[in-house]
Structure 1
Amino acid sequence: MQPKLQNYKASGPKGRQRRFKFSWFSDFPSWLEYSESNHRAYCLLCFISSKNIKRRSGFDVFTVQGFDTWKKVHDGKNCAFLVHIGSGPCSHHNSAVTECCYLLNYPNHIDNIVEVANNQEKERNRLLLKTSIAAVKWLTLQSCSFRGHDETPQSKNKGNFLEILNLLAEFNPKIASVILENAPQNAKYTSPDVQKEILSIFAMKVRMHIREEIGDAKFSILVDETCDVAKREQMALVLRFVDQDGVVQERFFDLIHVKDTRALTLKKEISHVLSSHGFDVQNLRGQGYDGASNMKGEFNGLQALFLRECPYAYYVHCYAHRLQFALVAATKDVVPVTQFFQHLLFIVNTVDSSSKRHDELHDAQMVELACLLVIDELETGQGANQIRSLKRPGDTRWGSHLGSISSLMDMFNPVSSVLQKLAADSSPGTYRADGDTSFNYLTSFEFVFILCMMREILEITEQLGQALQKKRQDIVNAIRLVQSTKFLLEEMRSDDGWELFFCKVVDFCVTHEIDIPDMEQTYIMRGGRARRQPDHFTKERYFRVEIFPATIDTQLTELNLKFNEKVLGLLSISATLVPNNGFASFQASEICRMVEKYYPADFNKQERVGLENQLRHFVIDASNSDDLKNIATIADLCQHLVASRRAGTFNLIDRLLRLLLTLPVSTASAERAFSTLKIIKTRLRNKMEDEFLSNSLLVKIEGEILEHYSYNDIISEFRALKERRVEF
């Protein structure tokens, strides 16, 4: 305090007493204080900093004891106040003054300045790393390359990664202020190593999420192999399981390079991946492969090797492959059908082999559409009446045969017009013979007959083919679709089916001006025939007996052969659990016997008794519940039990349904992974590392999982992956 009093208390011997002067406050305004309680003078600054400054002799006078020797205060250089201040900047008083100045100016303290600078450095580093993370994520999801041929500052095209960073900096001043040129050379976070580290973190997060989704549940593996563009054998591993919500999931997990396709090699690589991520092989309940000998071999095949470790990991030959094999077999066993597909491919190649003919086909379609619109034969609308092109059939592409036949039938008149024009073209360099031959094939009644017949057959099997390729298809429903497909084919083969089909063929011929032969006329069979068969018979017999039923019989025979599941008899019985069939053939005891046979490790004796009781209660509950009556598949049933909280009540039924749904149906997910592989690893990127390729493919296919993680999660993993000198 600096009080202004009438009289300050005197001190000293009698006759020589002195008092404090108020004018001294003006001489030493910054630190001098006077205490009214003990009537002594103090130094405020030294008192505040007395704890941090080492004391010397006499230092306590102005801090603790108080100064009252007023006679020593005078104008000379030996003034007590001046002596206390000291002559140098390092005196105790001046040090106290400096410390108090720091205290009063705390925001500008050096420690705070350093801390603010460090925080700014952290934010700058985070912004740089976030930008790189966003660029890597976008490029991976779009299957784009990262690096460029020339990434020097003088390059006009530095590659996708750096160009995206420049684009982001162009629209964000904060990024522009720290990125690339302004970033320190040792902390740009744009090097190829950093790009690979970020991608590896993405892949690690995705695999970790899939592992947490599966947990301790039972799962199946789907495996298929292919050669990439660099002629390296790659094996795709897909995991099929039922998640906590009762939904069937098929997650792509890894792409593994294998030196050879021997069953032992594949088994070793798959086991290594599963064990490295904490999967227990004893939880394996299904294997889905193609029909190659190294896969399905009963003694040394891949499925046999896994069955030795886990006897309940049942092998299911990919149903989609089986269907494709059945379709191909039908074309090979019936000679006219085989010749038909040869002629079909020849027509497609003739019409669509050059850009000139492609343009002519385009123009012919435009003319036909204009004519049909004039006579009101077509309906107009958005997306309707699109210009199309012919499709080539392929043995390894599911549904390609139907696409090729349908495109030809829909463009029959334009194709005929192009072939006629080609056959009549006399200019040099044209393929008149090909055009004339193709036109003769196209306009023959036999070709049109088989064209319409194969479209009818393939349209019946197409529904099954599409269903088998769904990720969430259950095997019980797949078997039911096989049965319905067989029924429709048998219905088509009947007398009524023949009459209906032949009428369609006649209508098509009349519409497109195709000559219809006399069916009573004698048909002379070309080529050799069995001796017991006549060489001369009517054309009606030829089409109605030799082609039509023979083709359908071949289809039915192949379907019966390819889809004969004796091992999994549990499936047909378990289908009786579906409520919408009214439980007509339901037998709880039969289901329990099949469970005892196929899943003894998942249901003990006591649980099998409990399962039978739960099944009886479930039938009564489902029969009286409106929300269960319309459920048509066990996949929907499993999901509904979880949603309606019945899974806790019928926990054993829920377990059984999950085991059935875990069984694989097809390896279509692995096939889709190979389609993505062709997009990522191209001819220009054929030197891609296996780990980088696997991570890119995983993030591309299962990229939606990354939405569960924030930038901070990725940055934390980045720090853990590689400690750096800079802070985040």
Structure 2
Amino acid sequence: MRQSSLQSFFKSNQASSTPQHTPSDSEPVDRNEAVSSPSIHSTQKASVSSTATESHFSLESIGSDIGQLATAPHPPHAEIKLQVLSNPWVPPEGYTFPTFTRVVNGKMRKQSIVREWFQKFPWLSYSLTKQGLFCRQCVLFAPVSVRGSRLGNLVRDPYGVSATQITKGIVNLEKHSLESYHIDADGKACDFIRMYTSNRGDVVNQMTAHSSELEALRNQFLKSVVATIKLCGRQGLPLRGHRDDGRLNSSDAQINDGNFKALLRFRADAGDSAVELYPKRAPSNATYTSKTIQNQLIEVCGNYIRATLVSDINQSFYFSLLADETTDVAGNKQLSITVRYPKNKSVNPLRPDWCIKEVFLGFVQVEDLSGESLARTLIESLVRWGIQISGLRGQGYDGAANMSGQFRDVQSYILQNYPLAFYTHCASHCLNLVLMHSCEVKDIRRALKVLSDVINFFRSSPKRQTILEAAVKNHFRGDTTTNATKLTKLCQTRWVERHKAVLKFLLLYPCILQALLQVEAFLNNSVSSQAETLRRQITSFSFLVTIQTLKLATETLLALTKALQKEKMDAVSASEELREVKSVLQDLHLGKFKQVFEKAKYLAHQHNVPVRSHRFGASDNEEDIIQHFYNNMFVPFVSSLIEGMDARFSTMFRTAAKINQLLPIFLHGTDCDVEKFQEVARLYANDIKPEDFLLELPRWHRKWNSVEMASIAELPSNFLTTLNRCSPLLFPNIFTEDILDTSCDYSHG
């Protein structure tokens, strides 16, 4: 800064000889001193050494004077602040401070500022113009007043200009160093010096650099947050805890704040610097760990996954819609929407690898459960997610009236707008309905009720379950191959689980009897009575024969139940599986039932159960008992299964008979009849060229009839394997027809 401006700014009269002191309201008064020298304020004289006015201590030589800054009407420029803070003027050795005399106990004493004070209190500065002490940090950065009181000594007024102030110098200076406004001003001074002495540029550049640095740190932190959410989602872990509000603590929380924050702390401990640093530096409104942000990020991840799936579906174009009604834990009604479509996993066009994909797209909340409303919700959801709805070629729902009825239902409303979206009842669900209807046979229904009661009796009580486990351990002592200790609950919809329940019950049958006998000894009359009733029911020969029959039926249908739930299952394959199982059921004659009877008889002899029926006594002829159970339980049960399969799957059988004519396994050894495919050509006239399709058929027929007999077993028997053997260049219309048949969900749901 130019010298002339400094001279004009600090222009002052330096010839003051006798400083006059007027104590401020806040200055402490020495009561003892006032008593010993009552005339001290009126009699004390202060003489200033002439040294203070020597010419070589001019303003030009000392630079900025702190006293002038304290009384200036406007704040000093930044350069002056930096000069005063970084290079304060200190009177040199030999400088004589103003001396004050006072009378104490009748004696004259001389007092002046002590030079050691500058070393003990580094913030002290001496003003040549005011001939007193100032706190340079407070002069430059302290407020004008604190709690309504003006800051005087050391801030706006000089200190050390009276004998009283000098006497209490150490005490008052130490007291000042502890004042909150001084501590705050000292911090601001340090920040000011650091900012102006660094090479980071001006404030704007520093703020820009700081923002860029914080933004980069935030982006890294967000990557860690998203990775943590993905981990929780993939592993099925809930994110939130009992209390998860507030910032992310670096140490373990006193309460459970959820898996999300716990995993973030784990990342920080493992060396993730962004997770460790960002929560400490982030603004309170941008921590990105609140429950709201968690839900938003989960939604973003879900939308990204759905968009990827939708792009894959649109690339295939043809798809089938699978939907079902469900209710969440809060009782809200919603639709689960799934799409089934063919996909070529191979990037080599000469070696295709087609597969069936079934992808879940999301839940959609619904209020109106009418067929029209559900159909509108399904179509609007698919359109909103970006799916090309014109490629819809199939529908698959359960047997509920509002989903699959003939008139006012979902499938009919959708079929009106998309005539090629044919409806197919879920084959696995159909099979479950057949089994449930067959179980209405009196003996079967009674046996299942008893079986369910026994299972629930043990599973509903930890004490009774412990007794059963002890009985199992005692019975299978030394047998390391058996690890079953609990009964499996009967599932109402999945017969695969029912098969497991029946098998485990028969395996643990002797243990169950032993456990029921122990429970009967309980003092609780209701529980012991219930145990006795259950024991009597499961030790009847009728129950043993029926449970063995159920075992045979579930074993027969187990493979079919699993097969119908596979993604690759189509109408042709499902029909073949159903015909084979139906053939097995039709072969269950009297000879097969006698094997079932012998197993029940063996189990009865092991546990002293009399072999008899409800109709005959214990001394009846065994052949009569066999005929009784065969005619009244076994035949009605098996016949009901066969009739139910015919009724439920007749449509599938007819559909399979129509579409399987394109499969190579059915073309081999037959004559080419183009007329049989006229209906298919007209039906899919919008997807294929009917004339070209009919022209391709003879060449397609000739291709598979030329196969040698040794290779017949390798002929494609379903549409998925046929796709991998069909060239889209040589047979474009047949290839499209195969995709259509693969897309339509005829069996799986």
TM-score normalised by length of structure 2: 0.65
Are residue 657 (structure 1) and residue 738 (structure 2) matched?
A: yes
Verify the 8 A CA contact 2:374 2:410 in the aligned structure 1. yes
Q: Percent identity?
A: 21
Post-superposition Cα deviations, 1:241-288, rounded to whole Å, max 9, x if no partner, equal 111342111111121100121011111111111222333433211111
Query: Would you say the 8 A contact 1:571–1:660 is kept in 2?
Result: no
| Alignment RMSD | 3.4
Structure 2 distance, partners of 1:622, 1:440, is 65
Give, in whole Å, the separation in 2 of the partners of 1:605 and 1:665. Answer: 23
Query: Residues 193 and 352 from structure 1, CA distance in 2 versus in 1: closer, same or farther, beyond 3 angstroms?
Result: closer
Range moving further from structure 2, 574-583 or 123-132: 574-583
Give the Cα–Cα distance (whole angstroms) in 2 for the partners of residues 317 and 601 of structure 1. 25
Note if 1:350 corresponds to 2:457. yes
| Aligned residue number for residue 140 of structure 1 | 233
Question: Which of residues 327, 336, 348 in structure 2 aligns to 1:236?
Answer: 336
* Kept in 1: contact 2:244–2:291 (CA 8 A): no
Shift of 1:587: 5.4
The alpha-carbon deviation at position 177 of structure 1 amounts to 4.5
Alignment of 1:442-521 (within 5 A): 442-492=538-588, 494-511=589-606, 513-517=608-612
- Three-state SS of the structure 1 residue aligned to 2:369 is coil
Q: How does 1:12-161 map to 2 (within 5 A)?
A: 120-148=213-241, 149-152=243-246, 156-157=254-255, 158-161=257-260
Bigger Rg, which one? 2
Contact 1:351–1:418 (Cα < 8 Å) also in 2: no
Aligned-partner Cα distance in 2 for 1:193–1:426: 53
* Structure 2 letter corresponding to 1:331: C
CA distance in 2, matches of 1:619, 1:270: 41
Shift, 1:409, TM fit: 0.6
The CA distance in 1 between the partners of 2:436 and 2:420, in whole Å, is 32
CA separation of 1:192 and 1:622: change in aligned 2, threshold 3 A:
farther
Q: 1:243 to 1:541 in 2, by over 3 A?
A: same
Give the deviation of 1:578 after TM superposition: 4.9
Q: What secondary structure is seen at the aligned counterpart in 1 of 2:359?
A: strand
Compute the displacement of 1:667 (Å).
6.4
**Is the 1:220–1:288 Cα contact (8 Å) retained in structure 2?**
yes
- Cα shift at 1:589: 3.1
Amino acid at match of 1:219: F
Counterpart mapping for 1:363-402 below 5 A: 363-370=470-477, 373=479, 380=480, 384-402=481-499
Alignment of 1:268 with 2:268, yes or no, is no
Kept after mapping to 1: 8 A contact 2:665/2:712: no
Instruction: State the shift of 1:348 in Å.
Output: 2.0
User: What secondary structure does 1:250 align onto?
Assistant: strand
Q: Distance in 1 between matches of 2:581 and 2:615?
A: 33
Unaligned residue ranges in structure 2 (runs of 5+) = 1-198, 346-353
Contact 2:404 2:411 in 1 (8 A): yes
Distance 1:266 1:130, change over 3 A: same
Q: Which moved more, 1:547-556 or 1:621-630?
A: 621-630
Note if contact 2:324-2:335 (Cα within 8 Å) is conserved in structure 1: yes
Retained in 2: the 8 A contact 1:422–1:430? no
Does the aligned pair in 2 maintain the 1:592–1:611 contact within 8 Å? no
Q: Secondary structure at the match of 2:439?
A: helix
Give the Cα–Cα distance (whole angstroms) in 1 for the partners of residues 667 and 518 of structure 2: 61
Which residue of structure 1 lines up, in the alignment, with residue 680 of structure 2?
Answer: 595
1:468 and 1:302 map into 2 onto residues whose CA distance is 23
Verify: 1:312 aligned to 2:393, yes or no.
no
Q: CA deviation at 1:116?
A: 6.8
Letter matched to residue 217 of structure 2 = R
CA distance 1:654–1:198, shift in 2 (3 Å) = same
Q: Which residue of 2 aligns with 1:716?
A: none
Q: 1:444 to 1:341 in 2, by over 3 A?
A: same
1:583–1:456: structure 2 CA closer, same or farther, 3 Å change rule? farther
SS in 2 for 1:300: coil
Letter in 2 for 1:358: Q
Counterpart of 1:641 (choices 696, 702, 725) is: 725
Task: Report the Cα offset of residue 200 of structure 1.
Answer: 2.5
Structure 1 residues 162 and 580: CA distance shift in structure 2, 3 A: same
Of the three residues 545, 560, 565, the one matched with 2:631 is 545
Residue 259 (structure 1) aligns with: 367
1:472: how far off?
2.9
Q: CA deviation at 1:573?
A: 4.2
Kindly provide the amino acid, as one letter, of the partner of residue 152 in structure 1.
G
1:653 Cα deviation after fit: 3.0
Deviation by residue 1:392-419 (Cα, 9 ceiling, x = unmatched): 3243344333222111111111111112
Q: 2:327 matched to 1:227? A: yes
Letter in 1 for 2:681: E
Q: In 1, distance between residues paired with 2:548 and 2:713?
A: 42
Question: Is residue 2:362 matched to residue 1:278?
Answer: no
**Contact map agreement 1:641 1:654 (CA 8 A) in 2:** no
Which segment drifts farther, 392-401 or 290-299? Answer: 392-401
| Counterpart for residue 25 of structure 1 | none
Question: Which residue of 304, 310, 323 maps to 1:205?
Answer: 304
Q: Measure, in 2, the Cα distance between the counterparts of 1:221 and 1:599.
A: 18
1:516-527 matches, within 5 Å, as 516-517=611-612
Query: Which region of structure 1 is more displaced relative to structure 2, 213-222 or 247-256?
Result: 213-222
Contact 1:169 1:179 in 2 (8 A): no
In the aligned structure 1, how far is the partner of 2:222 from the partner of 2:237? 20
Per-residue deviation, residues 484-531 of structure 1 (Å, max 9, x unmatched): 111111112x23323433333334444555433499956999xxxxxx
Please state whether the residue corresponding to 1:226 is helix, strand or coil.
strand
Query: Where does structure 1 lack aligned partners over 5 or more consecutive residues?
Result: 1-106, 374-379, 526-536, 669-728
- Native 8 Å contact 1:318 1:665 kept in 2: yes
Shift of 1:230: 1.5
**1:215 and 2:322 correspond:** no
The one-letter amino acid of 1:323's match is: L
Amino acid at match of 2:396: G
Question: Per the alignment, in what secondary structure is the counterpart of residue 335 of structure 2?
Answer: strand
Residue by residue over 1:4-50, the C-alpha shift from the partner in whole angstroms, topping out at 9 and shown as x without a partner, is xxxxxxxxxxxxxxxxxxxxxxxxxxxxxxxxxxxxxxxxxxxxxxx
Alpha-carbon distance between aligned partners in 1 of 2:514 and 2:505, rounded to the nearest angstrom: 13
Counterpart Cα distance in 2 of 1:151 and 1:275: 37
Partner Cα separation in structure 2 for residue 195 and residue 550 of structure 1: 57
Q: Give CA-to-partner distance per residue, 1:436-495, whole Å, 9 cap, x none.
A: 221222121111111010111111112221122223322321122111111111112x23
The answer to whether the Cα contact below 8 Å between 2:495 and 2:554 also exists between their aligned partners in 1 is no
Aligned length: 535
Runs of 4+ in 1 over 6 A off after TM superposition: 107-116, 522-525
How far 1:608 sits from its partner (Å)? 2.3
Q: Determine the structure 2 residue equivalent to 1:673.
A: none
User: CA shift at 1:631, angstroms?
Assistant: 4.5
Alignment of 1:187-198 (within 5 A): 187-198=286-297
Secondary structure of 1:399's partner?
Answer: helix
- Partner SS for 1:253: strand
Report the Cα offset of residue 655 of structure 1.
1.8
Q: Is 1:562 the equivalent of 2:648?
A: yes
Question: Distance between the aligned counterparts of 2:702 and 2:719, measured in 1?
Answer: 17
1:433 to 480, 505, 529: 529
Once residues 165 and 520 of structure 1 are traced to their aligned partners in structure 2, the CA distance between those partners, rounded to angstroms, is 70
**Alpha-carbon contact 1:520-1:540 (below 8 Å) kept:** no
Tell me the SS of whatever aligns to 1:649: coil
Match in the other structure for 2:54: none
Letter in 2 for 1:649: L
- Tell me if structure 1 keeps the 8 A contact 2:221–2:278: yes
- SS of 2:362's equivalent in the other structure is strand
Q: Is the 8 A contact 1:248 1:471 kept in 2?
A: yes
Greater RCO (Cα-Cα under 8 Å, separation 6 or more): 1
- Compared with structure 1, are the counterparts of its residues 282 and 431 closer, same or farther at alpha carbon in structure 2 (3 Å cutoff)? same
Matched residue SS, 1:247: strand
Alpha-carbon distance in structure 1 between the residues aligned to 2:510 and 2:675: 58
